[in-house]
Amino acid sequence: MPVKPKVAICWLGSCGGCDEAVVDINEVLLRVADNVDFVLWPVALDFKYHHVKSMKDGEILLSVVNGHVRNSEQEEIARLLREKSQLVLAFGACACFGGTPGLANLTTKEDIFNWVYRDAPTVVNPNGNYPQTRSHVNGKELILPEFYDQVYALNQIIDVDYYLPGCPPPPYLVMSAMSAVIEGKLPPKGSTLAPHRALCDTCKRNNSKPERLAIKEIKRIHEVEADPDICFLAQGIICLGPVTRGGCGESCIDINIPCRGCFGPVEGVADAGAKFVSALASILDAQYEEELARVIDQIVDPVGYLDRFSLPVSTFRNKWSKESS
Ligand code: SF4
Ligand code: SF4
């Protein structure tokens, strides 16, 4: 019997949604399972890390890694899978860019610990105990992973071969990525396994976008009843479609929610948030500095709007953090 290629699926700092996205390919998953040997998938199969540690370097064809890296255990697993795998796929916005947990980089590790273990109204901690990496209980040493100062995207820790963005990636892209690996039809290393066009290019509302946008007021989506057929930007609602990679299936737009950028920057753009700032400057309809400042002040949560999924890899990451600390 021919030896099947080995595949690992693993979550690091993850909500579990990316693992569900793999299950969402339904019966296709059974066909994938016919063609590969899963050697690690903590959410679904009972393999242990020591099974992976005992493998030869490069013995795994593909490791599909979702979630960000925020502690020493996650870093150790990421490094182990890199060592044992020919290919590593960063799966989902957290692995690709840090994801929404990356917004925690706006605050410090100390502030997070103080809130979670001391200050939050629901906390009862009279002895002021904080988690320690090493502690002794009944003569036994207990070890916890070290919590890092910040959230990292996967490629800030290990070398990554391919990227599949989305929060989580849609099933059709998961299927095509799996097929590309199994059939050996992969694009050059470093590629994103998703369309290269901007979301606006395929958005049903694109025809309603005027040739020249002129925004006088910025509104938040919950403040208005957005017209479901008109481009959000034309309604003064920030939508990152012009700078975000398409391929998500427009599920947010379809339920009348503007794009927040979970697919990351469009091909050729390093930072979607930074690109949108420059695009915004050209579409704001304000003649005087004060007027411009007034409109910009209407963006209540600029980081949440522009870097919701990508703060750890953002051009502005240090600036935002300093301003908010
Ligand atoms: S990318 Fe989204 S679905 Fe996937 S782990 Fe991160 S938050 Fe969850
Ligand atoms: S800005 Fe948003 S709503 Fe407008 S066309 Fe682009 S994706 Fe669609």
Q: Which domain holds residue 289?
A: 199-324
Distance, in Å, from the CA atom of 76 to the CA atom of 63, rounded to the nearest integer, reads: 14
- Kindly state whether residues 214 and 138 are assigned to the same domain: no
Q: Whose CA is nearest to atom 1 of ligand 2?
A: 241
Mean of pLDDT values over 170-177: 93
- Kindly state whether residues 159 and 208 are assigned to the same domain: no
- Kindly state whether residues 30 and 140 are assigned to the same domain: no
pLDDT band for position 321 (cuts 50, 70, 90)? low
Residue 118's CB: how many other CB atoms inside 10 A? 12
Question: For 292-317, what is each residue's pLDDT tens digit?
Answer: 888 888 888 889 989 999 999 998 77
Given a cut of 50, whether residue 325 has pLDDT beyond it is no
Q: Is residue 221 part of a domain?
A: yes
Q: Whose CA is nearest to atom 2 of ligand 1?
A: 167
- Kindly state whether residues 115 and 164 are assigned to the same domain: no
* Ligand 2 contact via 232 beta carbon (within 6 Å): yes
* Ligand 2 contact via 104 beta carbon (within 6 Å): no
* Ligand 2 contact via 239 beta carbon (within 6 Å): yes
Listed residue (76, 86, 80, 126) closest to 5, CA to CA: 86
Cis peptide before 228 (omega within 30 of 0): no
Query: CATH number of the domain that 21 lies in?
Result: 3.40.50.700
- Kindly state whether residues 125 and 144 are assigned to the same domain: yes
- Kindly state whether residues 120 and 13 are assigned to the same domain: no
Q: Is residue 207 part of a domain?
A: yes
Question: For 210-261, what is each residue's pLDDT tens digit?
Answer: 888 888 889 999 999 999 999 999 999 999 999 999 999 999 999 999 999 9
Distance, in Å, from the CA atom of 68 to the CA atom of 1, rounded to the nearest integer, reads: 38
Lowest mean pLDDT among 41-45, 125-129, 179-183, 260-264: 179-183
- Kindly state whether residues 137 and 237 are assigned to the same domain: no
